[in-house]
Amino acid sequence: MPAASASPLRFRDPGHDKYHFASSGTVLVRCPRCERQAQVVPEPRDAGSATPTWSTERRLVCRHCGLSRKRDRTRPIASYWYGNPEMNDPYFQAPLWLQTRTRHGLLWAYNPEHLDLLRRFVQATLREHDPWYEPWRKMGTIGRLPAWIKQAKNRDEVLRGLDRMRESLVS
Ligand SMILES: [Zn+2]
């Protein structure tokens, strides 16, 4: 992955809906067997055809312990945040790998691309017009972020949290 841009002042919201990062690619999770970094990936036979969606079959795979688990299709795909001490992936309900607690709340990301988008958003200082509050944006990945992530006074702490998450990717 390329390093973060050196000129982060402008942030362009790609307009992803809130499911984009969970449904279109790999989700990093904590392995339910060995607690190291594992991945929830679209099944290969589906992944080749088109952009994966919610209904694409998933498998939880761990290169550390060799776990390879197919999703139990009788369990609903569910993505909850509020009220949970940890954020889980929507397919296996395994804890997301990329999550960290701050004084204000939980920061989390489904994968490095999601983390990078959050970082670019928080680093961008030109938010005086707050277009993220435009109604049509509210349902998107960025628009739905809790207010404390968007507040300038929390910026440094949020960035530190995002840094911790990025460092955890090295393992
Ligand atoms: Zn494992």
**pLDDT tens-digit map of 97-143:** 999 999 998 999 999 999 999 998 888 764 545 555 554 455 567 77
For residue 74, being part of any structural domain is answered with yes
For residue 2, being part of any structural domain is answered with no
Residue 23: what pLDDT? 82
Written as one letter, the residue type at 42 is P
For residue 62, being part of any structural domain is answered with yes
Q: Is the distance from CB of 136 to CB of 144 less than 8 angstroms?
A: no
Q: Round the average pLDDT of the chain to a whole number and report it.
A: 81
For residue 39, being part of any structural domain is answered with yes
- Cα 116 to middle of ligand 1, angstroms: 25
- Cα 167 to middle of ligand 1, angstroms: 19
For residue 75, being part of any structural domain is answered with yes
- Cα 122 to middle of ligand 1, angstroms: 32
- Cα 151 to middle of ligand 1, angstroms: 37
For residue 1, being part of any structural domain is answered with no
- Cα 92 to middle of ligand 1, angstroms: 14
Q: What's the total number of domains in the chain?
A: 1
For residue 72, being part of any structural domain is answered with yes
- Cα 68 to middle of ligand 1, angstroms: 9
Residue 118: what pLDDT? 92
Query: pLDDT per residue over 62-104, tens digit each?
Result: 999 999 999 988 888 876 655 667 899 999 999 999 999 999 9
The domain of 117 spans 11-167
Prediction pTM value: 0.81
Q: Mind spelling out the 3-state secondary structure of 128-165? A: CCCHHHCHHHCCECCCCCCHHHHCHHHHHHHHHHHHHH
For residue 5, being part of any structural domain is answered with no
Q: What is the DSSP string of 18-61?
A: TTHHHHSS-EEEE-TTT-SEEEEEE-HHHHTTSS--TTS-EEEE
